[in-house]
Amino acid sequence: MGRFTVAWPTLVALCREAVIAWGTLGLVVAVWHPAVTVLGMLLIATRQHALYILYHDAVHGLVARPRRLNDLLINVFVGIPQLLPIHLYRALHLVHHQHLGTERDPERVLLYVGQAWNYSPLPTGRLIWQVAGDLLLWNNVLTGLGYLRERLSPSGLRLPPGPVYPEFFVLSALFWAGCGAFAWGAPEMAMRAAIVWFVPLLTLTQAIQKVRSFAEHGRGWVSYSWAPGWFGRWVLWPYNINYHREHHERADVPWYELPTVFAGREAWEGRRLVGLVWRG
């Protein structure tokens, strides 16, 4: 990309996913039937996860240039409505790339702290306990507390401070002011919308993200790549995030160029994920 450019495939994908997610939210709130609500929340969780995958490209500055425009766009689509401003996650992820598998890798130090997962298949009981902790947000609380301790009392991670542009605060204020106005004017509808958006975001979406992270690295910090079927691409590996080994080799390649740049590379079939996470 040049100095002032936008990765149009990513912008189109962001618009598509946002329309599906927020359109489903509107439909569920309007109908408010138990079956429609459950199905809608399941769909929303998969699209929130897909938006996080596109957000991952923005972490590497691949959505737009300059970086300020890149961060503005991704915070509008994902960072603010999905409660993860890009400057908070960028420091963690870039240090993960720089220090993969070492004592300075945030995934090793923070992501699985106090949890059952240790980069090898789990027996049934411990796997259920792990997934339950992700679904019920407890594991995210542990990770968040670890991140807060690291920021307040830095240890060996030495996370770099990420630049926060002023427009982030303006956009956040506008978003939450809009939510507040909606709650004031239509409290019942606002409560429905909050349930339908934030319950999947804080439960199933987090669990999907965690299972995908199980599939990214194994013992010895080897990076895996996958060749999923249509269901795997829709739920677990959208937008070529299955090219994880290749992404660690070339983090400057956007998602839509990975299949071309790394054509012919060996990958595991998606069904092998079961054996990777479950001892059976």
Q: Rounded to whole angstroms, what are the CA distances from 249 to 54, 99, 148, 253?
A: 19, 13, 30, 9
- Please, which residues bridge with residue 254 across strands? none
**Digit-coded pLDDT (tens) for 130-146:** 999 999 989 989 888 88
Residue 109 tokens, joined: 């130090």
Sign of the dihedral through C-alpha 26, 179, 48, 214? negative
**Digit-coded pLDDT (tens) for 158-200:** 778 778 999 999 999 999 999 999 999 999 999 999 999 999 9
Residue the block writes with tokens 């569920």: 28
Q: What is the distance between the alpha carbons of residues 280 and 263, in angstroms, rounded to a whole number?
A: 33
Q: What's the whole-number mean pLDDT along residues 46-50?
A: 98
**Digit-coded pLDDT (tens) for 76-129:** 999 999 999 999 899 889 999 998 888 888 888 888 888 999 889 999 999 999
Nearest Cα neighbor of 114 from 127, 98, 133 is 133
- Specify the pLDDT at position 167: 96
Q: What is the distance between the alpha carbons of residues 140 and 202, in angstroms, rounded to a whole number?
A: 9
Write down the pTM of the prediction: 0.95
In three-state form (DSSP H/G/I as H, E/B as E, the rest C), the secondary structure along the chain is: CCCCEECHHHHHHHHHHHHHHHHHHHHHHHHCCHHHHHHHHHHHHHHHHHHHHHHHHHHCCCCEECHHHHHHHHHHHHHCCCCCCHHHHHHHHHHHHHCCCCCCCHHHHHHCCCCCCCCCCECHHHHHHHHHHHHCCHHHHHHHHHHHHHHHCCCCCCCCCCCCCHHHHHHHHHHHHHHHHHHHHCHHHHHHHHHHHHHHHHCHHHHHHHHHHHCCECHHHCECCEECCHHHHHHCCHHHCCCHHHHHHCCCCCHHHHHHHCCCCCCEEHHHHHHHHECC
Q: What is the distance between the alpha carbons of residues 201 and 137, in angstroms, rounded to a whole number?
A: 10
Nearest Cα neighbor of 23 from 196, 179, 180, 206 is 196
Report the Cα–Cα distance between both ends of the chain, in Å, rounded. 47
**Digit-coded pLDDT (tens) for 192-247:** 999 999 999 999 999 999 999 999 998 887 899 999 999 999 999 999 999 999 99
- Specify the pLDDT at position 1: 47
- Specify the pLDDT at position 44: 98
Cβ proximity of 50 and 44 under 8 Å? no
